[in-house]
Each structure stands twice: as structure tokens, then as C-alpha cells.
């Protein structure tokens, strides 16, 4: 009788783990946006891409976010974002800046209230060229 109860508990635990792991990776749909501002708010002006989806695995202790990329529901690759500021699973910032010889490059990768956005900006040294019209971004929700 004790053995039967232990097996029953073990099976229930396995089912619970399977359910939790399936729910833990919510797939967000990708949108392509015409500007950084639209990407950060993921507005209606962004064009939906039904084929591309993202999931995010947060490792708060390591300050990392693993971005998994899906194409037609098949895993297509992943990106590890490091040195992130993680507040919770729905709010984090993995943006970074790099100064190269000719340009300053900033990659804005973050999630705010469950909306992911990715945009980049760059400024060439010694020029005052406005590149804001050339900037595009991605978002997922």
C-alpha cells in the first residue's frame, strides 16, 4: 500500500513538472517596426511576423537572458544576453554600448512589462548626421 502511494505521488509530481515546464516558456510573436520608439511600445504600426517567435529564459543570479528563436514553431537558434539588469521575468535590460574607432554603437535589448524590444543606434565620430530615420527595431509580445 505504501509503495502504491509513493508511485502515485511520483507520477503526479512528473505531470506537474511537465505542465510547469510547458507553461514556463511563453512564445512571443515578433513584430518589425519602422522606428525605435515604435519598437519600445510595440504599437499597431509594427508589422506582425507570424512565422517568428521568441521565448526568454531568465537567470537572475548569473544576470543572463537566453533568447530562443523559433521559425515556424521549430527552434532556429538562441542568443545569450549577458550582464543584464534583471528586475523580474517581465522587466529586464540587456542594453550595451560599444565605442569603436569610427562610431558609438548602442544595442537596446530589453523587456518592459512583458513586451520585448530590440533596436540599435549609432553615431559617427565627427559628424552630425541624423540617423534616426534609418533606425528600425523589433518587438515581441
Q: Is 10 within a domain?
A: no
pTM (two decimals): 0.70
Instruction: Outline where DSSP puts E strands in 1-141.
Output: 28-33, 47-59, 64-71, 74-81, 85-88, 91-93, 96-99, 103-112, 115-124, 137-140
SS3 assignment, position 125: coil
Q: How confident is the model at residue 35, as a pLDDT?
A: 83
Please check whether residue 13 lies inside any domain of the structure.
Answer: no
More confident residue, 100 or 38: 38
> Is residue 67 a part of any domain in this protein?
yes
Looking at the structure of the chain, the number of domains it has is 1
Tell me the per-residue pLDDT of 61-84, one tens digit each, with 9 for 90 and over. 999 999 999 999 999 999 999 999
- 7 part of a folded domain: no
Report, as an integer, the average pLDDT of 30-49: 89
The answer to whether 118 and 108 are in contact (CB under 8 A) is yes
Given a cut of 60, whether residue 93 has pLDDT beyond it is: yes
Which domain, by its residues, includes 95? 26-138
Is residue 4 included in any domain, yes or no? no
Q: Helix, strand, coil: what percent of the chain each, to 5?
A: 20, 50, 30
- Does some domain include residue 35? yes
Query: Nine-digit cell at 92?
Result: 529586464
Is 12 within a domain? Answer: no
In a domain, 36, yes or no: yes
Share the mean pLDDT of the chain.
Answer: 79
Amino acid at each position: 500500500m505504501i509503495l502504491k502511494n509513493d508511485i502515485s505521488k511520483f507520477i503526479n509530481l512528473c505531470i506537474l513538472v511537465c505542465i510547469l515546464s510547458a507553461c514556463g516558456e511563453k512564445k512571443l510573436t515578433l513584430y518589425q517596426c519602422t522606428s525605435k520608439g515604435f519598437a519600445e511600445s510595440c504599437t499597431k504600426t509594427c508589422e506582425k511576423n507570424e512565422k517568428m517567435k521568441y521565448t526568454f529564459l531568465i537567470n537572475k543570479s548569473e544576470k543572463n537572458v537566453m533568447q530562443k528563436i523559433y521559425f515556424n514553431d521549430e527552434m532556429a537558434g538562441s542568443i545569450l544576453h549577458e550582464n543584464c539588469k534583471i528586475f523580474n521575468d517581465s522587466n529586464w535590460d540587456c542594453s550595451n554600448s560599444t565605442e569603436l574607432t569610427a562610431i558609438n554603437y548602442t544595442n537596446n535589448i530589453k523587456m518592459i512589462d512583458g513586451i520585448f524590444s530590440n533596436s540599435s543606434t549609432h553615431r559617427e565620430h565627427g559628424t552630425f548626421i541624423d540617423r534616426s530615420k534609418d533606425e528600425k527595431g523589433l518587438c515581441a509580445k
